[in-house]
Amino acid sequence: MSASTTPVAPARVTSVATRSLARRRLGRSLIFAAMVLMAIVMLYPFAVMILVSFKTNAQYLIGHGSSTQTWRQINANLPIWQELWNSTVVCSLSIAIILVIGVMAGFSFAKLQFRGGNIMFLAIVSAMMVPLQAILIPEFVNIAKTGLTNNYLGAVVVYAALGTPFSIFLFTTYFRRIPDELIEAGIVDGLGYWGVLWRLALPMALPAIATVTVLQFIQIWDDLLVGLLFLQNPGERTITVGLAALAAGHTTSIPLLMAGSLVSALPAMIVYLVFQRFLVRGLTMGIDR
């Protein structure tokens, strides 16, 4: 005699499914509301900056009115195009050095076996934990002794030194994903380690290259402290240093400062929006190994 089973009432199944669907909808609604709130908090300062930039200083002080005079006269009051060019030069040279050193060192740590390699890699990674403020004054003294505090090169060297440890760490973890058999096959075919690096490994590391480029561009472009110390020549100031000098003046035009800040923020925002799909991929690939 077979055991009898008690059928589940269809109404009860429907009720459970309805409650589960309601909980999921409530959860999604709460997440969406939180995201909308965060977006408002993050975008509100930009809205204020845009509104204030379309005022004259007198209109800003009295609290109403709008004008395009600030935007028409921005280059006369602030050498913004020269400062944008200076920021572009400093960022480009620094990122180029960071990428070259990071790619070569990362491939070496990931695929070449040499004595003391692990200790050296740990020492480089530990450099990421050193605060900038702890080494900035010694760096300034060393750069000043070489006479490089009045041109691009001093800032480029400091930015490259600060960004290289992270670049080496990311490229090392990324290159470890490449199968050793592929490296050995390339060497057997006569490519050598240089050929394997530039013709096989480098094309596969494009997401990591994009990640390092975007993160370092945003950090260098928005930096103030290093530029303020190492770019003392007014003709070679970056945009952030120029805005800081403008804000430190005796008579500061808030609309002019807001307009300059918007122009300064646009390049970093554009770079992030264009390459954002590479960031998560480049940061996460290789971590599981």
Which tens digits make up the pLDDT trace of 236-283?
Answer: 888 888 888 777 765 678 888 888 888 888 888 888 888 777 776 666
Per-residue model confidence as pLDDT tens for the chain (289 residues): 444 455 545 666 677 667 777 788 888 888 999 999 998 998 888 888 888 888 888 888 887 788 888 888 787 777 888 889 999 999 999 999 999 999 999 988 888 878 888 888 888 888 888 888 888 888 888 888 888 777 888 889 999 999 999 999 989 988 888 888 887 888 887 777 788 888 888 888 888 888 899 889 999 998 888 888 888 777 888 888 888 877 776 567 888 888 888 888 888 888 888 877 777 666 666 444 4
What contacts 24+ positions apart, CB below 8 Å, involve 139-145? 140/229, 140/230, 143/230
By CB atoms closer than 10 A (0-12, 13-18, 19+), residue 75 is exposed
Query: What's the alpha-carbon Rg for the chain, to the nearest Å?
Result: 27
User: If you write DSSP's letter for every residue of the chain in order, what string do you get?
Assistant: -PPP--PPPHHHHHHHHHHHHHHHHHHHHHHHHHHHHHHHHHHHHHHHHHHHHTS-HHHHHHT----SHHHHTHHHHS-HHHHHHHHHHHHHHHHHHHHHHHHHHHHHHHH---TTHHHHHHHHHHGGGS-HHHHHHHHHHHHHHTT-TTSHHHHHHHHHHHHHHHHHHHHHHHHTTS-HHHHHHHHHTT-HHHHHIIIIIHHHTHHHHHHHHHHHHHHHHH--HHHHHH--SGGG--HHHHHHHHHTSSS--HHHHHHHHHHHHHHHHHHHHHHHHHHHHHHHTTTT-
Percent of the chain with pLDDT over 90: 15
User: Does CATH number 3.40.50.2300 belong to domain 78-284?
Assistant: no
Q: Are 136 and 159 in contact (CB under 8 A)?
A: no
Domain-by-domain residue ranges, the chain?
10-44, 78-284
Tokens of 228: 């303020």
Length of the chain: 289
Q: Which residues of 25-55 are buried (b: 16+ CB within 10 A; e: fewer)?
A: eeeeeeeeeeeeeeeeeeeeeeeebeebbbb
